[in-house]
Amino acid sequence: MNTNLSPIWSLHAELSLVAVLLVIFLADLFRRPEGNSRWFRVLACVLMAVQIGLDLTPDTRELFGGMYVNTPFTSVVKSILSAGTLLVFLQCGEWMGRKDTRHRQGEFYVLTLSTLLGMFFMVSSGHFLMFYIGLETASIPAACLVALDKYRHQGYEAGAKFILSSMFSSALLLYGLSLIYGTCGTLYFADVPSLLEGNALQAFALVLFIAGMGFKMSLVPFHLWTADVYQGAPTGVAAYLSVISKGAAAVALAIVLRFVFPFMEGQWTLVVAVLSVVSITVANLMAILQTDLKRFMAFSSISQAGYIVLGVLAGTAQGMASLAYYIAVYVVANVAVFAVISTVEQHSGGLTGRDAYNGLYRTNPRLALVMTLALFSLGGIPPFAGFFSKFFIFAAAFEEGWWLVVFLALLNTIISLYYYLLVVKAMYIVEPEGGQCVVSPFRCSPGVRVCLLLCVAGICLLGLCSGLYDGLTHWAGLLPFGAVAGL
């Protein structure tokens, strides 16, 4: 009997995450809801930090007959997603510490880690069945997270819209997978490319797959649920959906399109290019009209998703590396913005309108500075990390001949600068009504301060430290570009 369990170590990211999930579940089971729960929040953050440390051992291994495939590149992506989740946990400390939400801390952490586990399996899939299981494992708990504040009208409305949209997109995607199986006779990523003929059924299956993933990434025209869900969901949950969910979906989409449908590249690259440009343009124009910052950031995230999929078009190691690098930079910048929104919301009676930020620099200059740095990074202003992430992803797409798409994306960057600067203008230039700022001076909780400090460090240093991008390029170069095989 073979008792060699060393191959199972390739699941170290998933196994360590399951261990964290179980410890938090048991701790929540035996803790007293009415007691001091600060230790519980600290426990969740410490365990996530340990999990990230245990995951820093990238290797290449196949398990379960090739259904699960781990590579150094996917290992690094999982570390980025775990780090983003830790930042979300840190920023949610004040919200979780409220009397009306304190008893739901366990549910929040368990549901969040369950979605992260599904994303891990999704990005390491070598089989469409494993891919779909990971996708649903990520989607169903996310619907529960959106509706966590179920007694708020907007909360359960957002939950209903999210689950209905997820059901519809999953049905489209599953129908597409059934057509792939019907025409190829297999769902293994390694076997499908050699069996593709580019016939009408396979082309239709590809369209359905892209449409299903378009819903998950909120690409236009599959974006209509996003603003309502972000506005109705708790701010921490909206932050998680905007960065972690989109990041995992983008990497999974890039892997499937590049390594499962390489011979149908001429059919899907044009579709992805159009989706990218339309998503960036429509989201930018809609963001200008928003006065609620959660809806504002919803359209910002749609625009950022359009930039992210530019990395899919390149189809090279540079393209995959720039995609992962963009996600890492986007995580720290977007979480910083949502952390400020959440903190202001907790100290202003739930206000999320842009008017509440008029004169914020007077009462809370540090928060105003963090918000400014994060918005500058999202807009791609040098020398912040967002400039380098956009430069790398534009360069990767331009090098492969997508110069018109890059040009249109650059024009849209100017539009995005305008609406990001509207928030900066509100904080530093617009005078509050009556001369009295809506948000009084306050001190952030320790968890929020740590989160903002880490985010600012990422915004300022990720663009200057070339080691991350060089490492991503090296690990992406190990992927089988040009080979008729899966991962």
Q: What are phi and psi of 316, to 5 degrees?
A: -130, 175
Q: Which has more pLDDT, 181 or 103?
A: 181
Name the β-bridge partners of 309: none
What is the SS3 assignment for the chain? CCCCCHHHHHHHHHHHHHHHHHHHHHHHHHCCCCCCCHHHHHHHHHHHHHHHHHCCCCCCEEEHHHCEEECHHHHHHHHHHHHHHHHHHHHCHHHHCCCCCHHHHHHHHHHHHHHHHHHHHHHCECEHHHHHHHHHHHHHHHHHHHCCCCCCHHHHHHHHHHHHHHHHHHHHHHHHHHHHHHHHCCCECCCHHHHCCCCHHHHHHHHHHHHHHHHHHCCCCCCCCHHHHHHHCCHHHHHHHHHHHHHHHHHHHHHHHHHHCHHHHHHHHHHHHHHHHHHHHHHHHHHHCCCEHHHHHHHHHHHHHHHHCHHHHHCCHHHHHHHHHHHHHHHHHHHHHHHHHHHHHHCCCCCCEHHHHCCHHHHCHHHHHHHHHHHHHHHCCCCCHHHHHHHHHHHHHHHCCCHHHHHHHHHHHHHHHHHHHHHHHHHHCCCCHHHCCCCCCCCCCHHHHHHHHHHHHHHHHCCCCCHHHHHHHHHHHCCCCCCCCCC
- pLDDT value of residue 382: 85
Q: How far is CA 201 from CA 194, 271, 295, in A?
A: 16, 17, 38
Confidence band of 376 (pLDDT split at 50, 70, 90)? very high
Cβ neighbours, 10 Å, residue 15? 14
C-alpha 330/C-alpha 318 separation (Å) is 18
**How do residues 389-445 score in pLDDT, each as one tens digit?**
899 899 888 888 888 998 999 998 888 888 899 898 888 887 777 667 777 777 888
Confidence band of 1 (pLDDT split at 50, 70, 90)? very low
C-alpha 332/C-alpha 169 separation (Å) is 28
Long-range contacts of 30-39 (CB under 8 A, 24+ apart): 31/106, 33/102, 33/103, 37/96, 37/97, 37/102, 37/105, 38/97
Residue carrying the six token digits 């070598």 = 126
- pLDDT value of residue 36: 63
Confidence band of 4 (pLDDT split at 50, 70, 90)? low
Question: How does the average pLDDT of the chain come out, rounded?
Answer: 85
- pLDDT value of residue 466: 67
Average pLDDT of span 184-189: 88
Residue carrying the six token digits 């494992």 = 137
Give residue 55's identity as a one-letter amino acid code.
Answer: D
Q: Which has more pLDDT, 389 or 93?
A: 389
- pLDDT value of residue 453: 93
- pLDDT value of residue 34: 65
With a pLDDT cut of 90, the percent of the chain lying above it is: 20
Confirm if 19 and 6 have CB atoms less than 8 A apart: no
Q: Is the pLDDT of residue 356 over 70?
A: yes
**How do residues 391-405 score in pLDDT, each as one tens digit?**
989 988 888 888 899
Highest mean pLDDT among 100-114, 119-133, 346-360: 119-133
Q: What are phi and psi of 125, to 5 degrees?
A: -75, 145
- Among 1-5, 22-26, 449-453, 460-464, the range scoring the smallest mean pLDDT is 1-5
- Among 54-68, 206-220, 265-279, 417-431, the range scoring the smallest mean pLDDT is 54-68
Q: Which has more pLDDT, 153 or 191?
A: 191
Tokens of residue 405, six digits: 């798409």
Q: Which has more pLDDT, 326 or 480?
A: 326
Confidence band of 483 (pLDDT split at 50, 70, 90)? very low
